[in-house]
Amino acid sequence: MDVRSQVSMVFHLDKCIGCHTCSVACKNIWTDRKGAEYMWWNNVETKPGTGYPTKWEDQTIYRGGWQKENGKVTLKGAGKRRGLTNIFYNPNLPVIDDYYEPFTYKYLDLIEAPEGDDQPTARPVSLITGEPIDIKMGPNWDDDLSGTPDFARNDPNFQNLSAAEQEVMFQLEKMAFFYLPRICNHCLNPACVASCPSGAIYKRGEDGVVLINQEVCRAWRMCVTACPYKKSYYNWHTGKSEKCILCFPRLEAGLAPACMHSCVGRIRYLGVLLYDASKIEDVVHDDEKNLINRHMDIILDPFDEKVIRAAKMNGVADSTIHAAQNSPVYKYVKEWKLALPLHAEFRTLPMLFYVPPLLPVMATLKQVDNTEQADKMNPIAKYWDDNWLYDTSTAELWGTLDQVRFPLKYLANMLSAGNEDMIKDKWKKLMAVRIHRRRVTVGDISNEKADEVLRDAGLTAEQADGVFYLTALAKFEDRFVIPPAHREQAIEMMDFTGDAKGEIGFGIKSKVKRGL
């Protein structure tokens, strides 16, 4: 057992309102620079939709991630032979038009334009060329318009969905959609690290953050191709690739990453997971249908004494183990088994997990007679003449699951490598928590019925209360359990600190000029 710690994340998609506050916070801190204008280390996508860059999930176009051939797992777009033949021209790179051409407006024209017959306008100009442009696209162009022919209908996750099933989704277009916020997954088997010819990318030992060393990067851009999530970006100004750094300077100071800190929907959770690194290779080589279950098996129980002992042998600090025991991510992923990795079939073992969205699925619209209720109301009160019921209740417990308006297959393609039962299992749990809480707070559901639901979903009443607490009431300290940095110990694992005496900071090679 080779126990290591990883700062891991859970995004609760039911809670995301698609406000892009996370993206803006990230942009303001990290990518508001020349050459990085088009980058969104954090971006929010509307689903169904093609995402950013367009169709990033379609690896027949971008050839990212790993593939299993003859029992061997290799990089799809890189590797020795492919790398050598394409070393000077990387043929599957996304181009700027696949992302979007970044733009701003000439706001100064509004106040400085000479007097004339027309209202002055702020023309859009490209942030790359500085010339006026026609804005063709943005990082989430389709934002609240799911179902458009350009983007939603080209969603790669529609594979294996029948034409009729797809049509159902688009009949309800403009209603049935959800948001998918994405950052770097800080994978356990990162394709970007494997693809880099310069060895500039590494996974930090103490917390598993994947970083690109800007002093070693030689602009091969193999990581841009190799990352199936397209979360490595090439800075055309500095000539180096960049990616999400999980705000490690903030993490080391005990602060949550900017995107998580600023999230108004409070959908993001961050905590430590302990995992068994010796099993990674074995798991990566497993069949696609076993991938997620095996992935979950790697994550170890931080309360298990054997695990704790092995962790200490590996130099994992007590405080980190303690943080792992309180980790909200561990609860969501392992204890309640509510969260799933995005596109596990890419075989990178992503360490960012998503709680699948329930809301667009479970409710049905029903015509009811509300006159009796309306009569009871004071005439002064606003008269309620809406006879439609947004109904989430059902007589036979899981009835709505079978008549969902959002095909299960769609979410399964995204979050469980095509396994519908896995999504159904998560939905049952989410539904059971709601039914349980309805029994507690409203009391119109019988105890037998609620208990049956919980049993069916595989949750205890305490667990359901826990899910409810962490989903709806969690405070800052509950959502972000950040271990102390232990930066010094982490450095000592790699180097003798005496070598670095008189130097400063992280990753700075040149010595500081001292006064005198």
Partner 1 sequence: MRNKIYKLITAGLSLVLLINFANAQSAGETTFKSTCTACHTVGMGKLIGPDLANVDQRKPEAWLIKFIKSSQSVIKSGDKYADSLFKAFNQVMMPDQALTDAQIKEVLDYIKTKSPAATTASTSTTSETATEEAPSISSTGDAARGKDLFVGNIRFSNNGPTCNSCHNVDMEGVISGGALAKDLTQAHSRLGEEGVKGVMAGLPFPQMKTSYETKPLLEQEIADIVAFLKDADKQASAKSTTGVGSTMLIGGIVGVVVLLILFSIFWIKRKNRTVNYSIYERQIKST
How far apart are alpha carbons 120 and 202 in whole angstroms?
50
Q: Helix H segments across 314-419?
A: 318-325, 328-330, 359-362, 371-376, 399-402, 408-415
What's the residue count for the chain? 516
Residues 496-515 that bind partner 1 (CB under 8 A): none
How far apart are alpha carbons 76 and 69 in whole angstroms?
10
C-beta closer to partner 1: residue 19 or 128: 128
Q: In angstroms, what is the minimal distance from the CB of 348 to partner 1?
A: 21
C-beta closer to partner 1: residue 99 or 248: 99
C-beta closer to partner 1: residue 13 or 137: 137
Residues 135-164 that bind partner 1 (CB under 8 A): 136-137, 150
The candidate with the shortest Cα–Cα distance to 414, out of 45, 42, 142, is: 45
Q: In angstroms, what is the minimal distance from the CB of 341 to partner 1?
A: 25
Q: Is 41 left (phi over 0), alpha (psi -120 to 50) or beta?
A: alpha
Q: In angstroms, what is the minimal distance from the CB of 101 to partner 1?
A: 10
Of 35, 48, 49, 53, which lies in the binding site for partner 1, with binding defined by CB under 8 A? Answer: 53
C-beta closer to partner 1: residue 64 or 271: 64
Of 134, 372, 385, 499, which lies in the binding site for partner 1, with binding defined by CB under 8 A? Answer: 134
Residues 57-96 that bind partner 1 (CB under 8 A): 61-62, 85-86, 89, 91-95
C-beta closer to partner 1: residue 150 or 304: 150
Q: In angstroms, what is the minimal distance from the CB of 50 to partner 1?
A: 8
DSSP 448-470: HHHHHHHHHHT--HHHHHHHHII
Pairing of β 340-341 and β 352-355: antiparallel
How far apart are alpha carbons 35 and 235 in whole angstroms?
5
SS3 content of the chain, % helix, strand, coil (to 5): 40, 15, 45
Residue/partner pairs of 389-397 with CB below 8 Å, 24 or more apart: 389/365, 390/363, 390/365, 391/363, 391/364, 391/365, 391/366, 392/362, 392/363, 392/434, 397/449, 397/452, 397/453, 397/456
CA-to-CA dists, residue 272 to 119, 206, 330, angstroms: 56, 11, 8
C-beta closer to partner 1: residue 86 or 235: 86
Q: In angstroms, what is the minimal distance from the CB of 151 to partner 1?
A: 8
Q: Residue 489 has which token pair?
A: 């110990």
How far apart are alpha carbons 374 and 383 in whole angstroms?
7
Q: In angstroms, what is the minimal distance from the CB of 125 to partner 1?
A: 13
Q: Is 97 in the site for partner 1 (CB under 8 A)?
A: yes
Stretch that binds partner 1, among 134-142, 184-192, 306-314, 388-396 (CB under 8 A): 134-142
Stretch that binds partner 1, among 131-139, 230-238, 328-336, 458-466 (CB under 8 A): 131-139
Q: In angstroms, what is the minimal distance from the CB of 114 to partner 1?
A: 22
Of 12, 55, 203, 294, which lies in the binding site for partner 1, with binding defined by CB under 8 A? Answer: 55
**# of chain residues touching partner 1 (CB under 8 A):** 20
Q: Residue 480 has which token pair?
A: 């972000």
Q: Is 361 exposed, middle or buried (0-12, 13-18, 19+ CB in 10 A)?
A: buried
C-beta closer to partner 1: residue 89 or 496: 89
Positive or negative torsion for Cα 93, 350, 434, 44 = negative
Q: In angstroms, what is the minimal distance from the CB of 183 to partner 1?
A: 22
SS3 294: helix
Q: In angstroms, what is the minimal distance from the CB of 47 to partner 1?
A: 17
Is residue 182 a contact partner of residue 73, using CB atoms and an 8 Å limit? no
C-beta closer to partner 1: residue 78 or 292: 78
Q: Residue 273 has which token pair?
A: 């997971």
Residues 32-51 that bind partner 1 (CB under 8 A): 50
C-beta closer to partner 1: residue 96 or 374: 96
C-beta closer to partner 1: residue 4 or 63: 63
How far apart are alpha carbons 339 and 368 in whole angstroms?
36
Residues 335-374 that bind partner 1 (CB under 8 A): none
C-beta closer to partner 1: residue 133 or 389: 133
Q: What is the DSSP letter of 332?
A: I
Q: In angstroms, what is the minimal distance from the CB of 58 to partner 1?
A: 8
C-beta closer to partner 1: residue 93 or 219: 93
How far apart are alpha carbons 237 and 223 in whole angstroms?
17
DSSP 177-241: -EEEEE-----SS-HHHHH-TT--EEE-TTT--EEE-TTT--S--HHHHH-TT--EEEETTTTEE
Query: Which H or E run includes 276?
Result: strand 268-276
C-beta closer to partner 1: residue 85 or 460: 85
Residue ranges that bind partner 1, judged by CB under 8 A:
50, 53-55, 61-62, 85-86, 89, 91-95, 97-98, 134, 136-137, 150
